[in-house]
Amino acid sequence: MKNYIQDLNKAFENRIRLGIMSILMVNDSVEFSTLKEMLDITDGNLASHIAALEKIEYVNVTKQFIGKKPNTTYTVTKAGKKAFNEHLDALEKLLKNRD
């Protein structure tokens, strides 16, 4: 049996980061507040997980003003998409393995 466990990405082990990525993969751009609501977590917690994904360059941040309000949106980077897809492939193989 090949060891697909090694191919799982540590960055996506946490459920919240898994959630962030799965949302960003199917939405071009998502706001901080939207993510916060979807995931139902505290803003601090979200910020720290996003920061982790930003640091490894899986997620891009865009800060702007919409009207008078600050607005932060996130997108997944090319590297992030690749890494996430590889993670899903590894997951799939791991779980379908029947040696």
Q: Does 98 bind a copy of itself (CB under 8 A)?
A: yes
Per DSSP, the three-state class of 35 is helix
3-state DSSP of 36-79: HHHHCCCHHHHHHHHHHHHHCCCEEEEEEEECCEEEEEEEECHH
Contact residues for DNA (CB under 7 A)?
Answer: 13-17, 31-33, 41-45, 47-52, 61, 63, 65, 68-72
Contact residues for a copy of itself (CB under 8 A)?
Answer: 1, 3, 5-6, 8, 10, 13-16, 18-19, 22-23, 26, 38-40, 88, 91, 94-95, 97-98
